[in-house]
Structure 1
Amino acid sequence: MFLKIWVAVLATAIMSGCSTYAANRYAISVDNVTALKQLNGKKLSVGSFTASEPGKTEIMCRGVGPIKTPDGQTFENFIKKALEDELKIAEVYSASAPVTLTGNLDAIDFSSTSGTWNLALTVKSSNGNSISVTENYSYKTSFYGETACNQTAQALMPAVQNLIGNVVRNNEFNKLLN
């Protein structure tokens, strides 16, 4: 009898001990769109995005559970779609544009202890130029794993907004356009 109760308690603990933390879908940044509208009619398309760790859709958080992208997409595709969405809303996206931007997600990681997302991205233009940017996004965290991991998941989207902003507001961005 005691063994059955112990097994039931252990099974319940194991099943409830692992949560999944989904990041929010990407939302447009007004600052990024405003910067892109300054391109004076230039059009861009977005090609494929790769990653130094390709195909990654989640990162484990404190052994509590994984931080996942929305809809199970890879981190590199999450960032690619974010850039595309910004370009579309700013009315500078065209699938047939003379210039295509591609990218490589050089690094993506976080610390739920210190409350930081660390992202690095290289964007290449079909004209041969490229720029590399980083974003070290700070957010409020917690001592408690469940709370910290939830806050980490919620901080991915604004970290990506800032990363895209670091691209489109970069002094070298215009070199990608011609």
Structure 2
Amino acid sequence: MLKKLSLISIVLLGVSGCSTYSVNRYAVSVDNVSTLKNVAGANINVGEFDSVEQSKTSIMCRGVGPIKTPDGKTFEGFIRKAFVDELTMADVYNADAPVTLTGTLESIDFSSASGSWDIAMTIKSSNGESISVLESYSFTSSFYGETACNQTAQALMPAVQNLIGKIVQNSHFPNLIKGA
């Protein structure tokens, strides 16, 4: 009888384990790259990105399981790498540039029930200028937890693409990259 209970306990633990929902690796946005290519004489370095809140690599979704960034990066690290990827693809990234942009992730959260990611970010330039942007990205969700959490994880990448788009299309972005 004890062996049967032990076996049942092991099976239940295996079946009831939570899922992990991985965010896709970042893919550059054609619109963002196109915008960056039009910035005359751009030569941009990117420094550290930090977070107002404690840095995290995952956020729990409905108690079903965590939504995790690729490669165990923090959310601000994921956004930084995405920004560098966009600048690199547009051929305006230069680690030796006279102007360095840094970022502060003011907040990041989602609702898997209503289907939205909310990201607030401030980008600061070594020349003293800064801009703050807010992205509220909507996506189709589901009543069913597994589906909703998977859709939430898949929606982070386009939310970050839109966030970066709001940064580089901001009318004050050229002020960030002017030489000090």
Tell me the TM-score normalized by structure 2: 0.94
Aligned equivalent of 1:173: 173
* CA distance in structure 2 between the aligned counterparts of 1:16 and 1:168, rounded to whole angstroms: 46
Q: Write the distance in 1 (CA, Å) between the matches of 2:8 and 2:114.
A: 33
Map 1:1-178 → 2, pairs under 5 A:
1=1, 5=4, 7-17=6-16, 18-178=18-178
- Rounded to whole Å, the distance in 2 between the matches of 1:5 and 1:117 is 45
In structure 2, the residue corresponding to 1:121 is in which secondary structure? Answer: strand
Question: How many Å apart are 1:4 and its aligned residue?
Answer: 5.0
Task: Give 1:10 shift.
Answer: 4.4
- How many residues are treated as equivalent by the alignment? 177
The CA RMSD measured in Å over matched residues stands at 1.3
Measured at CA, do residues 149 and 6 of structure 1 come closer, stay the same or move farther in structure 2, by a change above 3 Å?
Answer: farther
Q: Which one-letter code corresponds to 1:124 in the other structure?
A: K
Distance in 1 (CA, whole Å) between partners of 2:157 and 2:97 is 27
**Paired amino acid for 1:150:** N
Please give the alpha-carbon distance, in whole angstroms, between the structure 2 residues aligned to 1:33 and 1:73. 23
Relative to the length of structure 1, the TM-score reads 0.95
Q: Which runs of 5+ in 2 are unaligned?
A: none
Per-residue deviation, residues 88-123 of structure 1 (Å, max 9, x unmatched)? 000000000011000000000000000000100000
1:139 partner amino acid: F
- What stretches of structure 1 move > 2 A for 4+ residues in a row? 3-17
Identity over aligned residues, as a percent?
A: 63
